[in-house]
Amino acid sequence: DAKTTQPPSMDCAEGRAANLPCNHSTISGNEYVYWYRQIHSQGPQYIIHGLKNNETNEMASLIITEDRKSSTLILPHATLRDTAVYYCIVSLSGWTPLVFGKGTRLSVIA
Amino acid sequence: DAGVTQSPTHLIKTRGQHVTLRCSPISGHKSVSWYQQVLGQGPQFIFQYYEKEERGRGNFPDRFSARQFPNYSSELNVNALLLGDSALYLCASSLGKAGGPYEQYFGPGTRLTVT
């Protein structure tokens, strides 16, 4: 079973920041938080990962709480192309088998 | 550089038949994983191979098998197909060596329909 809990769906206005929450209260000290997204009928796409520090790349920012029990993925300026299912996954190394939950379906609205 | 490629894109089979799905990882990646995604669910892990050896197996029946070749490409075989095997089959590759963490890169998938 997935070790994460995410809201089933969220809406975001185009051009605004999308903030996607994830709870992982049972995360171990050496497990990373990974985010992937899946645009309809395509393979999942890696977005970002982090251990305990906040991380930022060209796609998104990842904010992990100090107790590491939750995190937030931030898409700073959402576009229609960001409409997808977003998965939050905890993993020891990232290349071991990923356990996907049902994710959050983000709808970006014009 | 080319990403992960999978073939075929779509496939229609009849119950009881067998199927072979193929995956080519990103150049330099030695780990390949297979996932099954049924409609409305997240991907579910089937197999992982690293350096041609099986490193993990998910909760799937023995009708499912896989292998990895010396060039790190991989095949997933499913025998005695059931209607419930209809799904999107995803292949993911990763560097998979010590010293991670590493991300997995997914291919576009093979859509299998069993009738």
B18 to chain A, minimum CA–CA distance in Å? 23
Which of B58, B90, B96 shows the shortest C-beta gap to A95?
Answer: B96
Cα–Cα distances (Å) from B113 to A5, A9, A44, B14, B89, in that order, read 31, 28, 20, 8, 11
Q: Kindly report, residue by residue over A6-63, the tens digit of the pLDDT.
A: 999 999 999 999 999 999 999 998 899 999 999 988 999 999 999 998 999 999 999 9
Residue in chain A nearest B94 by alpha carbon: A95
CA distance B7 to A6: 32
Collect all residues of chain A within an 8 Å Cβ-Cβ radius of residue B44: 100
B31 and A CB contact within 8 Å:
yes
Q: Kindly report, residue by residue over A55-107, the tens digit of the pLDDT.
A: 999 999 999 999 999 999 999 999 999 999 999 999 988 778 899 999 999 99
Residue in chain A nearest B48 by alpha carbon: A97
